[in-house]
Amino acid sequence: MNATALQNAINSALIATGIDAPNSSVSGLNIFPNPASQIISVTFSDIIKKGVIKIYSLLDEQIFEQNILNQSIIKVNLKNITSGIYFVKVFDGEKSYCKKLIVE
């Protein structure tokens, strides 16, 4: 199976379970680039006054956490994160957002 076929199979499985594909739009949260290998920009539709961003592995292990204070964009360095599929979760005090991230 080539990389494209594998990615299509993963996206199909995620869509079937209600998890967004990497290039889909989640209201309030966007990740670019995705897939990524070095640095990602995580943007929010509104300024988050006080919140937190966390990255989890597929096994629900937290591998990254950073506080958010009066920001609408955060850059995250992926240099210590191995290749794989992860979930970026953002909590703004009222709502939570989650989006899939692929690290190459």
- 49 pLDDT higher than 90: yes
Report the mean per-residue pLDDT for the chain.
84
Q: Which residue has the higher pLDDT, 101 or 27?
A: 101
Q: What's residue 6's pLDDT?
A: 63
The 8-class DSSP code of residue 36 comes to B
Instruction: Report helix, strand or coil for 32.
Output: strand
Do the Cβ atoms of 26 and 20 come closer than 8 Å? yes
Phi-psi region of 31 (alpha: psi -120 to 50; beta: other; left: phi over 0): beta
To the question of pTM greater than 0.85 for the whole model, the response is no
For 56-80, what is the mean pLDDT? 95
**What's the CATH number for 24-103?**
2.60.40.3080
Q: What is the pLDDT of residues 7-46, one digit of tens each?
A: 656 655 555 444 444 444 446 799 999 999 999 999 998 8
Give the span between the Cα atoms of 104 and 93, in whole angstroms: 31
